A and B are shown apart, each in its own frame.
Chain A
Amino acid sequence: MTGPVLSHPVFASIQGAIEFIFTPQTSNVTGGKTVGGIDQVIELALTQLELTALAMAAALIVALPIGLYLGHRGTGELFAIAMGNLGRAIPELALIAFMAALIGVGVLNLTIALAVLGVPPILANSFVGIHQVDRASVDAARGIGMSEFEILRKVEIPLAIPTIFAGIRGAAVAIVATATIAPIAGVLTLGDFIINQNVYGDNGVLAGAILVALLALVIEFSLAGLQRRLTSKGLRLKAT
């Protein structure tokens, strides 16, 4: 497949991939097995979404309270920053494979492995976001009689939303991307089309790549939209 970009084979493979997405076909690779089609696509996409949502929920439950608490207290900066930096260095493939080998395959175990990827960015960013809030605003809030929890909820979190959300979006992108390779740990996601070329053929591989890219973009854009809605009006005006 060398040749110029707009050559015929490229269009043929894109067409093949789109056909694979919408109509079930007999695999010419495994001989006789029916693969592809919109039903299988939806099934695998839902699994990947479910896995991503579960892992995000787990990561948020663990990381957000710790990050917010440390940021509010202003302690543990080294811990939060080191977490963020070390988390980035974790090789995804090795992590998934290793967790599967250690605690077994299946949705629950994979959720734990994926959550491990989500914790560092959420923790580091919620810490930094809260920590960066102007101390004068916090003092003013304390001065008008807000409790520490109210300060966090009504002053610090609204001001830190952009930074906190950057962490959440980073985590979501990493988790949905890694959920693509979930089939190596026994959970069939859209990545199965990509990884098991010997079952789905090259049409399936390209179809899987297109679907995974779309799924990640949909998640990213939804979170960006959610962030805009959660950002207070005053901050939105300042940004423009």
Chain B
Amino acid sequence: MASLGALPLAAVGEVGKGFIHERTSETLPCQATSKFFCWDWAKEHLISRYETPTFQHLELVVISVAVGFVVAFALALLAHRYRWLQPPLLAGTGVLFTIPSVAFFFLLLPFTGRGRDTAIIALTAYTLQIIYRNTIIGLANVPSSVKDAARGMGLTERQTLWKVELPLALPEIFAGLQIATVSTVAIATLAAFAHGGGLGEPILREGISFKTNLIIAGGIAFLIAVSCGLLLYAIQRFLTPWRRAAAV
């Protein structure tokens, strides 16, 4: 332990300025102290305790957003073709969006029980509204002069949609995807209530008094959310070079 003593101080010097360190409690396990953050414990357990929850979390988010995107995008295309579908679809996805995830997990209890699949269904339902609405807005924002030009060049309805309207709607579609992904990463911490795994699981297991655990699990979720947001933003910029040219 003597050799380890130098490590936390060195690390704390960088980040933990101002925190009082109770050196007397160093021999206690971190869970039993009121320390704000135990570097020793974090270093020792980061991989062993958080690797699986992190991957479960990513799995929840990737599957939910992917399925949500496919469904919402298909609904948006349908509603773009048949306008009368727009009000009921907006209201329907709105209801799914409004129902709190924790409640949604357990509304499914009689049908799918507890577990990962239940969590994925609820999270998918949550993403629909955001992606659907943004896709519709993106398609509606395409100037009619552009569509006229496409028609004038002899493009069919389908070609106009895929070659003109959808590319021009990409920024809004990506904005929807980004919002849905970032929010789902945050909300997936609640999946643990439904025994769906993810980064909420260590929080529920250890309780609220173990701050180091809360900071690590919450911090990983926050970092995943921010990185996903930035990644999607970068992809959008890459896919819409004409917007970059216009912005300069």
Residues of A within 8 A of B (CB): 1-2, 5, 9-10, 13-14, 85-86, 88-95, 97-98, 100-102, 105, 173, 176-178, 180-181, 184-185, 191, 194-195, 202, 205-206, 208-210, 212-213, 216-217, 220
Contacts and interface: CB of A to CB of B under 8 A. Distances in A.
A125 B156 CA distance: 39
Interface stretch (B4-12, B15-23, B144-152, B185-193): B185-193
A101 B211 CA distance: 7
B179 A88 contact: yes
B221 interface: yes
Interface stretch (B41-49, B77-85, B157-165, B222-230): B222-230
Contacts of B229: 85, 89
Interface in B192-233: 192-193, 199-200, 203-204, 207-211, 214-215, 217-219, 221-222, 225-226, 229
Size class of B's contact patch?
35 or more
Contacts of A180: 100, 102-103
Contacts of A85: 182, 229
Contacts, number: 140
Nearest to A180: B102
Nearest to B109: A206
A206 B211 contact: no
B99 interface: yes
B98 A91 contact: no
B110 A10 contact: yes
Contacts of A208: 103, 106
Determine chain B's interface SS by DSSP, over half rule. helix
A102 B101 CA distance: 25
B66 interface: no
B140 interface: no
A21 B179 CA distance: 36
B63 to A, nearest CB: 18
B86 interface: no
Instruction: Give the 3 A-B residue pairs with the shortest CB-CB distance, closest first.
Output: A94-B218, A177-B100, A89-B225
A89 B186 contact: yes
Nearest to A102: B211
A73 B100 CA distance: 36
Contacts of B179: 88
B141 to A, nearest CB: 14
A206 B107 contact: yes
Contacts of A94: 189, 199-200, 203, 214, 217-219, 221-222
Given A173-B97, A206-B106, A217-B99, A89 B226 contact: yes
A77 B203 CA distance: 35
